[in-house]
């Protein structure tokens, strides 16, 4: 059933793109929630918790994402927890994004000068209020550039879930190539679609970093 690359193929790829974007958003939300909790635990928790989170971050950062994906999909099903590809993909990407976002945000929290913590303490703010009103808003501002930059990595890295059969953009490209045998048409279109999503994010990330350097703190 060889067909030639045409409008229908683009539609097919676009469908894959929608899944790529959807999976990226899930990853960003999941990784964002856990990443924030882990970042706070890593920079402010008791020593045992800091060590635990640091261990997690190092372990995940030192493991290829593909292995995490295989472990969630094949490994867990071997243990009797079967996840469909979408769930396995979302879980493993969240594990991955959590580690990196926690590390990025920990750096941002620790970049806030000690004197800001002391000023909040001296005003009798509780540790939670100090974090909520003084530290996190400032850390948030400096985190915007690197965070948006990391979203580009998330979008591109969703492609490894093609290997467990999740039909996102890359997997859609593979399937289409098997039908059309026009790899240049197919994969250049795939690459263009990634570019259309990623380039604006990169551009935005750079803008946010410039704004920080320009020193407008508000």
Partner 1 sequence: MPALRIENLKKSYGNVPVLKGINLAVENGDVVAVIGRSGSGKSTMLRCINGLEPFQEGTIEVVGHKLDQSRANLRELRKEVGMVFQSYNLFPHLSVAENITLAPRVVKGLPRDEGSALVREVLSRVGLAEKADAYPDELSGGQQQRVAIARSLAMKPKVMLFDEVTSALDPELTGEVLKTIAQLAEAGMTMVLVTHEMGFARRVATRTVFMHQGTVWEEGKSEEIFTHPKTPELKNFIAPDLK
Residues that bind partner 1 (CB under 8 A): 115-116, 118-126, 129, 133-134, 137-138, 141, 215, 217-218
User: Closest approach of Cβ 201 to partner 1, in Å?
Assistant: 24
Q: Rg for the chain (alpha carbons), in Å?
A: 21
For partner 1, the closer of residues 2 and 217 by Cβ is 217
- CB 113 to partner 1: min, Å: 8
| Least distance from partner 1 to the Cβ atom of residue 35, Å | 21
* Residue 45 CA, distance from chain mean position: 23
Q: How far is the CB of 111 from partner 1 (least distance, A)?
A: 13
Q: Which is nearer to partner 1, 113 or 200 (CB)?
A: 113
Q: Tell me the C-alpha distance between 41 and 80, whole Å.
A: 31
| Angle between the N-to-C axes of helices 85-110 and 47-61, in degrees from 0 to 180, rounded to the nearest 10 | 120
**CB closer to partner 1 out of 78 and 133:** 133
The residue (of 74 and 133) whose beta carbon lies closer to partner 1 is 133
Task: For 173-188, give one letter per residue: b (16+ CB within 10 A) or e.
Answer: bbbbbeebebeebbbe
Cα angle, residue 89 at apex, residues 85 and 92 outer, rounded to 5°: 135
Q: How far is the CB of 216 from partner 1 (least distance, A)?
A: 8
Whose Cβ is closer to partner 1: residue 11's or residue 115's?
115
Cβ 215 to partner 1, closest distance in Å?
7
Nearer to partner 1 among residue 8 and residue 126 (C-beta): 126
């Amino acid at each position: 059933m060889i067909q030639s690359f045409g409008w229908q193929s683009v539609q097919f790829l676009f469908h894959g793109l929608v899944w790529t974007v959807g999976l990226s958003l899930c990853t960003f939300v999941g990784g964002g929630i856990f990443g924030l909790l882990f970042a706070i635990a890593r920079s402010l928790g008791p020593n045992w918790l800091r060590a635990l989170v640091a261990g997690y971050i190092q372990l995940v950062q030192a493991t290829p994402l593909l292995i995490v994906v295989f472990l969630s999909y094949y490994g867990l099903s071997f243990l009797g927890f079967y996840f469909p590809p979408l769930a396995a993909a979302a879980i493993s990407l969240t594990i991955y994004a959590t580690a990196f976002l926690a590390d990025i945000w920990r750096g941002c929290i620790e970049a806030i000068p000690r004197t800001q913590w002391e000023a909040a303490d001296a005003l009798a703010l509780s540790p939670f209020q100090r974090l909520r009103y003084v530290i996190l808003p400032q850390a948030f501002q400096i985190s915007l550039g690197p965070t948006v930059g990391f979203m580009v990595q998330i979008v591109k890295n969703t492609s490894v879930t093609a290997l467990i059969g999740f039909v996102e953009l890359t997997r859609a490209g593979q399937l289409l190539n098997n039908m059309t045998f026009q790899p240049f048409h197919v994969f250049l279109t795939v690459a263009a679609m990634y570019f259309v999503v990623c380039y604006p994010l990169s551009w935005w990330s750079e803008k946010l970093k410039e704004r920080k350097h320009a020193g407008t703190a508000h």
